[in-house]
Structure 1
Amino acid sequence: MESTLLQDYFLLRPENLLFVVAALMSGGMLLWSTISGRSAKEIDTRTAIQLINYKDALVLDVRDDSEYADGHLPNSKHIPTEKIAERWHELEKFKDKPIVVIFRSGVRSGHASSVLFKNGFVQVHNLMGGIDAWRRANLPIVKR
């Protein structure tokens, strides 16, 4: 009984309250994304290749124009993340197909994926590590 009181005392101290709240919020957000099923699945380069080759997945590059010009996946569709909310309708014919979102950092792909989910796309995948992972795997990059 005494150890429980000590544990409660340390847990509820004011200086620990911020950490407890942060931990509860983080856990809740993870649980919500798992339960809702509305978050994009993170995939590696091998899975991306399989989706592209065998499931006719669309590759959606959401990086900015200069990053895209520096090199992108063959046959990728380019819509910068800041324009995805106004241009998602261009992807309407791909609603039932897998979409592999390419980015440089996770923030942009998360935003683009959430816009797509909100508009009825169900098979949205984020490439773990983005374009850098693709390059590290020595996979094809084109410049146009």
Structure 2
Amino acid sequence: MQRLFEFIFNHYVYSLALAVVTYLLIQEFFDTAFKKFKPITPMLAVAKMNESDIDIIDVREPTEYVEGHIENAISAPLGKLSEQLPKLTRDKKAPILVVCQNGARSLSAAKTLAKAGYEQIFVITGGMDAWTEDYKLPIATRRKQKAQA
């Protein structure tokens, strides 16, 4: 036991690095084991959309949403998601599909939805980049109306 303490004292940088990596691995294990949302590919998302009535929440900024979004998606920027939750979905047991540009913001949104008590949360892996570039799935766009003089 004395040799262990001597090693830790002499190699404190390595010992600290080992402790940090161990902590991060354990945290990742528990996050993965107990997360309440499921990542799905764009093709599985289309299948879910076809088989059931699913709410689609787009957590990108409004300027990104206007450029192109999934048909019937509701725009709810990540920064305002918590305050918009009561207006977004009909009940907490209904399936929800969350999408962003590349998949990073939708993970944060899914965690927010899970904390709020929503039960069926699906996150599109790769976001709209995968939707349009990898799978070539259709998007809806809003055209800006010209101001009438």
Output the TM-score relative to the length of structure 1: 0.84
Question: 2: distance between equivalents of 1:81 and 1:59?
Answer: 14
Residue 15 of structure 1 deviates from its aligned partner by 2.2
**SS at structure 2 position matched to 1:93:** coil
- In the alignment, which residue of structure 1 is the partner of 2:33? 35
Which residue of the other structure, out of 128, 135, 138, is the alignment partner of 2:136? 138
- In the alignment, which residue of structure 2 is the partner of 1:17? 15
Share of identical aligned residues, percent?
Answer: 30
Residue 94 of structure 1 deviates from its aligned partner by 4.1
Question: Bigger CA drift: 48-57 or 107-116?
Answer: 107-116
Output the TM-score relative to the length of structure 2: 0.81
1:53 lines up with 2:67 in the alignment: no
Query: What amino acid does structure 2 have at the position aligned with 1:127?
Result: I
Question: 1: distance between equivalents of 2:24 and 2:80?
Answer: 29
Which residue of the other structure, out of 46, 50, 61, is the alignment partner of 1:64? 61
Root-mean-square deviation over aligned CA pairs: 2.2
Query: What amino acid does structure 2 have at the position aligned with 1:86?
Result: E
Question: 2: distance between equivalents of 1:76 and 1:60?
Answer: 6
CA contact (8 A) 2:45 2:97 kept: yes
- In the alignment, which residue of structure 2 is the partner of 1:125? 122
Q: Summarize deviations over 1:38-90 as a string: whole Å, max 9, x none.
A: 3x211111111111110222111000011101100111111000000111111
Moved over 6 A (4+): none
Bigger Cα Rg: 2
- Unpaired segments of 5 or more residues in structure 1? none
> What number of residue pairs does the alignment pair up?
137
